[in-house]
Amino acid sequence: MKTIGHFIGGKHVEGTSGRASDVYNPATGEVQAQVALASKSELDAAIENAKAAQPAWAATNPQRRARVMMRFVDLLHRDMDKLAEALSKEHGKTFPDAKGDVIRGLEVAEFCIGAPHLLKGEFTEGAGPGIDIHSVRQPLGVVAGITPFNFPAMIPMWKFCPAIACGNAFILKPSERDPSVPIMLAELMIEAGLPEGILNVVNGDKEAVDGILDHPDIEAVGFVGSTPIAEYVYTRGCAAGKRVQCFGGAKNHMIIMPDADMDQAVDALIGAGYGAAGERCMAVSVAVPVGEETADRLVEKLIPRVENLKIAPYTAGDDVDFGPLVTKEAHARVKGYVDAGVKEGAELVVDGRNFSMQGYEDGFFMGACLFDKVTRDMSIYKEEIFGPVLSVVRAKDYEDGLDLAMSHEYGNGVAIFTRDGDAARDFSARINIGMVGVNVPIPVPLAYYTFGGWKRSGFGDLNQHGPDAFRFYTRTKTITSRWPSGIKEGAEFVIPTMS
């Protein structure tokens, strides 16, 4: 059986802790590999390696660091299919969706090619008598990222690309559920010219996470995952004096106004609600039609589309809509939520609980489910399901629909579908959610904007990728200088002012 260790100092390193975790093929239910789980001593060794390599990398000029990113982007294009296949085999998502995972990470690497510009400081000549002031952005040192299973290519690149472009060394602790692609990315970075020790991949579980949070040489930590763990990472990391950004769960609403193009809205809900089997933090899991007539039209059009979704392993071709869930435990959790929704009184108008794939009976496949007449007090509305389950919550009017999204504890993404510019503008201005789509169901910003949710979907002051990433992974130093010709004789006993 294949064993997966770590990638430290530019080399593959076998695990020595004696602990390992199974890596499944979600389509078959078979264990296809074992991944080592690092001990604290293994993590410490990786951090020491990164600490030793980082000063020379920080001293490398930004343009040369950017050239590594340029070559990395070329290598990602070269190995796109290879990366996507490895990703699909461990995660279960379709091949086109896996390629999309890689491409959205690649776009952040492209943005980081602009590091020489993004790292420029400011300068003021003659700020005072003979005084000039300038600022510079400098790397933090050794930083870390803890990334989830659902985007094993994209989110690691969202973390390590800007961190490395800024001159930091990076410790990546990816999900143990699909660990192959993060190591493949580290290999490509070395091939692109990154010095050994600047990007290290340490596989592990909570022991590795706690080791990262507690280690005095880790200056900053980025995390993506569930809200309870995001809050834990944020609290523990901040208590240890680190800079921390954490992104948690979501319950993304899509408001459908009476004037919306209903066919367009249904297309959007099908893709955004069921793509990747719903295992996306930006998946639309709540449809909010405004008015009973709008709701009836929406559900009537949704039912046959949901019933006819094609579910299969990624090997079945590019016309598959979605594949299996990532693990048996994930399948059981999603089914449990559907059972709870039925018990709580929601109408399960499409029931995918008993779906079985011929020849893949042991795989973690879940059929698409559609609930109607879901209410605010139900667990399927309040909690993140992370599966192919869409809930329809009927709103009396626009204000009721707006309040549904605004009152929910999560604030990751939201969308409105309408032909009314005034309604869209009002919605965009008032909504208390970090990413907003107008006739766009999954409003994930492009790489040169920042990604981040509000409320209990995000912890920390700065978002992922875009300019915020360069702010997060650097410190600003401001230098005030005056040369001897401008210095008056005698001591000065008052604080300098512009008087």
The average pLDDT across 332-361 equals 97
The average pLDDT across 318-337 equals 97
Taking only the tens place, the pLDDT of each residue in 93-136 is 999 999 999 999 999 999 999 999 999 999 999 998 889 999 99
Residue 257: pLDDT band with limits 50, 70, 90: very high
Q: Global pTM?
A: 0.95
* Helix, strand, coil % in the chain, rounded to nearest 5: 40, 25, 35
pLDDT of residue 2: 92
Residue with tokens 């400081």: 121
* Mean of all residue pLDDT scores within the chain: 96
Which residue in 166, 246, 281, 369 is the catalytic one?
281
The correct CATH number of 2-248+457-479 out of 3.40.50.300, 3.50.30.10, 3.90.1170.30, 3.40.605.10 is 3.40.605.10
In this predicted structure, the answer to whether residue 73 has a pLDDT above a threshold of 80 is yes
Q: Known catalytic residue: 166?
A: no
pLDDT of residue 339: 98
Residue 243 makes CB contacts below 8 A (sequence gap 6+) with 140, 219, 220, 221, 472
Nearest Cα to 229, choosing from 253, 213, 251, 216? 213
Rounded-to-integer distance, Cα 320 and Cα 379, Å:
30
- List C-alpha distances in Å: 306 to 253, 321, 322, 440: 18, 10, 12, 20
In this predicted structure, the answer to whether residue 445 has a pLDDT above a threshold of 70 is yes
Other C-beta atoms closer than 10 Å to the C-beta of 259 total 13
Domain boundaries, the chain: 2-248+457-479, 252-438
pLDDT of residue 486: 59
CATH 3.40.309.10 is the classification of domain 252-438: yes
